[in-house]
Amino acid sequence: MIFKVEHVNYQSRLRVAFLLRFILLTVIVISIHFQSSSTVELTVSIIVFSGVGLALAAHLKARKYFYQVELIGKTLILKGDLNNTPLTIELPIDSTEIRIISKGNGHGNVDYFIRFKHGKKTYDVNRLFNWNYSTLLDLFHRFKEDKGEKIIWDEKYLLDFMEMKSKGMTTRQIVFGKSKKPTRY
């Protein structure tokens, strides 16, 4: 079975990971500059060094990207890019673990991605948070089914949240009880 999302090139991934954070940081540093007695050289130095640090972090986040996951027999195939070079990784399902990881994105918003672990290596799907949660739910269930594993309580808890988010609910609506529990299981 094939699960996929739209392909996003490296430059677009880098722009998304870097630009907004850099603009926000620059605005904050400049506003602090005008409220204090710091010199222009100090302000520019802070912006430049912070910009380099943000660019490095953005590069590390954007360099590896998976846009397609295939489950064929007992093999997991991840297709994506490393920078702008095509990348295909084949892993045996029997010795690969799957986890749901939640990541807070400020203001009470939480997004989810799937992490495959094989040996000491990890492979993250949906780090840009551009996958549809319904697709990720189907991928998770299919992987567990193919591997012959049952869903444990911790996973079910996160799957419930993902299912509610797939229905368009915000994290705030989910947490404050403005929803009904999903009945998928």
Which of these, 81, 59, 67, 57, lies nearest to 14 by C-alpha position? 59
Check residue 14 and give its pLDDT: 85
Mean pLDDT of the chain: 88
Distance of CA 176 to the CA centre of its chain: 24
Q: What are the phi and psi torsion angles at 50 (to 5°)?
A: -65, -40
pTM here?
0.79
Which of these, 55, 77, 177, 161, lies nearest to 125 by C-alpha position? 77
Residue 162's CB: how many other CB atoms inside 10 A?
Answer: 21
Check residue 101 and give its pLDDT: 92
- 3-class secondary structure, 148: coil
Query: Distance between CA 135 and CA 139 in Å, rounded?
Result: 6
What is the per-residue pLDDT across 117-151, written as a single tens digit (0 to 9) for each?
999 999 999 988 889 999 999 999 999 999 999 99
Check residue 182 and give its pLDDT: 54
Q: What are the phi and psi torsion angles at 13 (to 5°)?
A: -65, -40
Q: Is 22 left (phi over 0), alpha (psi -120 to 50) or beta?
A: alpha
Amino acid at 136: L
Q: Write out residues in the chain with pLDDT < 50, as ranges.
A: 185
Residue whose structure tokens are 């994506």: 80
What is the per-residue pLDDT across 159-169, written as a single tens digit (0 to 9) for each?
988 898 888 88
Which residues sit opposite 90 in a β-bridge? 77
